[in-house]
Structure 1
């Protein structure tokens, strides 16, 4: 069947999470006079944050535990004494400041302009509502998408098939006419594939891909499939 609906992940796929996050930390550390090497902090923070998001996707930690735990664990690793009050302030301000930087991956607008006349475009994201909508708005992406499905609204996270079924129902689409584009192998690619979608893996780090999956190393390459 012909593809009519394209579902995108947001963070690490269209929205350059790493760069925007680095800028957010630079801003809030300055605001709160946190005197640590940003480079050293981020070096430890990134894998810790990834671990927490993986646990969050499996419902093993709450939103609050993720927001606070990733900071607490990182400061502990770099032997920086941070009070609970400071960690609370940083966790709140990080979420506030994060959408202010709105760098996208190269070619994001160009790709969406190319796709929009021929397909209905949608977002499926595991991010927090209060941040994801702001990211879309401030990076001028909202206009492209007919529906925005967040894990908070649905009550389950990718790769749970329920979020994909909910997305199809919202879009009035079938899985056979739908394709999911994302960077997370487990959440986006396997999750959507198991729900019957076609998939394109945003393999921006050129990881070895074991299965016969459409894979791209930049956004522009998606045009060869759609």
Structure 2
């Protein structure tokens, strides 16, 4: 079995449980802004529509079709107008509040801390490579007690490019002092993490907790982070 020295993890949807943390944050905003008063949608409809809009905007952001500023300014405007709220009635600061609250949430996927501790004890050097925003990602790491596990945190905002761009992976390898041959990428996104790493000559682990069907060949595939112990 191939020996690796450097492990590169994605953060959102791989270690940090974005959906759970976003759900809690949206629930707080729904109550704080009394969004139920509009009488046209429930919290679950608000949560579902936000998730749909946010994912669509992130795909555009990763394709360099919208900016960070546009993503942040647009997601609640689109969500609430799609739910029948007049633009004039949308709280002006709701997006900023979401960005302030979300990174302080601490839910992670099962086995996250135990597995990272195991890998650290085994001598692996671990890093993060994420398309998330610099300040926000560091806050998430602190809130979820993950900071100490990682030597380098490589964000798209700091590096100037986004996964799956090979330059992002080249930058990460250079910053970590690693080679592609001794590195392994672990992430939940087939395009950004798996194919991005493959095109950079890096082996990959596809984290697929929902066991989605796909036709991409990956070096490894896991449904639980605990499965990393079977080959690392």
Q: Which residue of 1 aligns with 2:143?
A: 138
2:212 counterpart of 1:211: no
**Which residue among 108, 123, 130 is the counterpart of 2:112?**
108
Deviation digits for residues 99-157 of structure 1, max 9, x if unmatched? 22110000000110110122000000111112100000111000000000000000111
Name the CA distance, whole Å, in 2 between partners of 1:125 and 1:79. 34
2:51 counterpart of 1:46: yes
**Which residue among 159, 164, 170 is the counterpart of 2:169?**
164
Shift of 1:83: 3.0
Q: Which residue of 1 aligns with 2:183?
A: 178
Deviation digits for residues 8-65 of structure 1, max 9, x if unmatched? 0000000000010011111123222322521001112212211110110111001111
Structure 1 unaligned segments of length 5 or more: list them. none
Aligned residues: CA RMSD: 1.4
Structure 2 unaligned segments of length 5 or more: list them. none
- TM-score, structure 2 as length reference: 0.93
Name the CA distance, whole Å, in 2 between partners of 1:114 and 1:42. 35
- TM-score, structure 1 as length reference: 0.95
Shift of 1:159: 0.5
Shift of 1:178: 0.3
